[in-house]
Structure 1
Amino acid sequence: MEAEDMENSIAPPWLELPPEITSSILQKVGPIEMLKSADKVCSYWRRLCHEPAMWRVVKMQNAGADFWDREDDLEKICGRAVECSNGELVDLSLEYFGSDNLLSYIAGRSPQLKRLRLVCSYNVSAVGFSAAVKKFPLLEELHLYYVGISKEAIETIGRSCRGLKSFKLNNQICRHPYIEYDDEAIAIAQNMPELRHLQLLGNKMTNEGLEAILNGCPRLESLDLRRCLNVQLEGELGKRCSSQIKSLRHPEDPTEDYGLDTEMHDFESFDEDYPSGFSDIDLISDDDDDYEFSYGSNYSDDDDDDEMFDY
């Protein structure tokens, strides 16, 4: 064999690494680069990138100047990640993208999901979320930041995810402290008895809603009420919170460790049906019809085996 042929036949150094080390390296590059670049390096990497164990945890964020242009692409990548998980997905986090169609697709293929986190997923509606969450019976942690869901959706979450232990429902804070709304708090109290951890930053509930939560969630260990401007932790209610809750964050406590916008905002108009300051209509993009998902109705309870993406 000629020297040039021998040189070309030498395997690249990364192929000599143990599979567990290579898998760890690939996971650090993140799901987007894994499915757009890393899986095209060689057949060995492609095989590892498509192992279900690599996709038990999926965390994706939409960021950069091309924010809106990338959303459709990110949904397709997320769909591919769900396919690669082969039903083993247990932890999913989506930031600044997501839609009813994507959630429906994920729900039909992720029966083992235990943790779900959505941040500013403006194209997720209360109706779409309610339809999806029915297929997450093992869900233990649900963290929603600036996602518009309704009282009815909270009730559906409680009925469908009986083992839910951690719930975060955080709204953008608006300057309407006189607006009082306890329906969300009461829905939590009546449908989530197993909660250990609850965060309701910026909620419009009053002391009545807080009392309902203390009565309905007896196992609650931590409660975050920061920026809940209608709650007054004084007198007997304050004493009860201090004695019943191990870790209590007060409405006036600082929010530097929160990580998202906690500045107060003025809204030009306010719909009484949506006390959080925005409606489902506000959260639906005009470009929703541009998404090409090949399955049928967004809210059907029947699984559809059609592929959502072209590989």
Structure 2
Amino acid sequence: MKAETEPKELESDWGELTRELLINILSRLSVEDRWRGTMLVCKSWFSAFKEPSLHSVFDLDPQFDSPLESSRWWNSEFEAKIDSMLQSVVQWTQSSLTQIRIRHCSDRYLALVALRCPNIEVLSIRSCPRVTDDSMSKIALSCKKLRELDISYCYEITHESLVLIGRNCPNLKVLKRNLMNWLDPSQHQGIVPNEYLNACPQDGDDEAVAIANSMPTLEHLEIRFSKLSAKGLNSISQGCPSLEFLDVSGCANLTSRDIANASSSLVHLKEIKKPNFYIPRSVFHTERYGHWSLYDERFQTDIFRI
């Protein structure tokens, strides 16, 4: 009796899949898997990869969300890679692009977004050292559907951009304008260039007034480690009556009395994150959190005038 032969493996030509099926497959993959693998398979895969519907949301944040920040993210070579990806997505999607969450892009390619993507609703560009008021003014004038903006750690953006965004983007509900921890810069040293750390914006009250005067429908505001004073916070509470969430943690120029007075008029406020005025010293390691001893003592003194 002849031995039964092994069944032959079915040979598949992945390049023969229909475009609709390829798009369906690609839509189920992560951004990383799409960019690092599928686009390089063959011409038909690359053609499907450029389908606008696959890129209406361009979100690279998960790639940056790790406990350890990398110093290489802050060099020009890495910025050029992010710019190249952003340029490609803008070219493929045009007006169908509605959400962008990236970091370390440049002024030039953010201006390209303003030029070609008028339907942007969410723009998150944290930690972009070379994004300035120039590109933000173009965003303000062209992307009027903007409802969420995150410009945290973008130190070349000033209060002038906040005014333009507020005046030209009436749907804006969420603003995140957090600064790096200047109370304990050691956590950034060796990663973020020192000259950039030293460029931390000092005009906290100017930014607060810009927000108050131009963003009356704001519902969510984050200004961690802002250097605003009680005057600035009062401006925000008066100018942004619809606030439901407010984060002023790390704002060392504010006392608990300042915050209580300002927030009392915010009738819609559901959550407020305050500076941690009374931090038990035993909670922290002295070598890293030594600044908190001074921070704590300052507010222990202020308790007598609250």
Structure 1 and Structure 2 fold alike (TM over 0.5): yes
Asked if 1 retains the 8 angstrom alpha-carbon contact of 2:178 and 2:224, the reply is yes
Asked if 2 retains the 8 angstrom alpha-carbon contact of 1:140 and 1:164, the reply is yes
| Cα distance in 2 between the residues matched to 1:59 and 1:264 | 37
CA RMSD of aligned residues (A): 3.3
Q: Which residue of 2 aligns with 1:245?
A: 269
Is residue 214 of structure 1 aligned with residue 237 of structure 2? yes
Count of residue pairs brought into register by the alignment: 247
Normalising by structure 2, report the TM-score. Answer: 0.70
Is residue 150 of structure 1 aligned with residue 174 of structure 2? no
1:129 Cα offset (Å):
2.1
Alignment of 1:75-94 (within 5 A): 75-94=83-102
1:189 Cα offset (Å):
0.4
Q: Which structure has more RCO (C-alpha within 8 Å, separation ≥ 6)?
A: 1
Alignment of 1:41-120 (within 5 A): 41-60=41-60, 67=73, 68=75, 69-95=77-103, 97-120=104-127
Q: Which has the higher helix share?
A: 2
Asked if 2 retains the 8 angstrom alpha-carbon contact of 1:241 and 1:248, the reply is no
Gaps of 5+ in 2: 1-7, 185-201, 279-287, 292-306
Percentage of identical aligned residues? 27
Q: Which residue of 2 aligns with 1:126?
A: 133
| Partner AA of 1:23 in structure 2 | L
Is residue 230 of structure 1 aligned with residue 253 of structure 2? yes
| Cα distance in 2 between the residues matched to 1:146 and 1:133 | 19
1:134-182 per-residue CA deviation (whole Å, 9 max, x = no partner) reads 2110000001220021111110111121110000101123249xx7841
Asked if 2 retains the 8 angstrom alpha-carbon contact of 1:169 and 1:200, the reply is yes
Asked if 1 retains the 8 angstrom alpha-carbon contact of 2:105 and 2:130, the reply is yes
Q: Which residue of 2 aligns with 1:140?
A: 147
Is residue 24 of structure 1 aligned with residue 47 of structure 2? no
Gaps of 5+ in 1: 1-5, 255-261, 266-311
1:183 Cα offset (Å):
1.0
Larger radius of gyration: 2
Asked if 1 retains the 8 angstrom alpha-carbon contact of 2:15 and 2:44, the reply is no
| Cα distance in 1 between the residues matched to 2:290 and 2:54 | 40
Equivalent position SS for 1:39: helix
Q: Which residue of 2 aligns with 1:294?
A: none
Q: 1:111 to 1:98 in 2, by over 3 A?
A: same
Equivalent position SS for 2:151: strand
Q: 1:25 to 1:239 in 2, by over 3 A?
A: closer
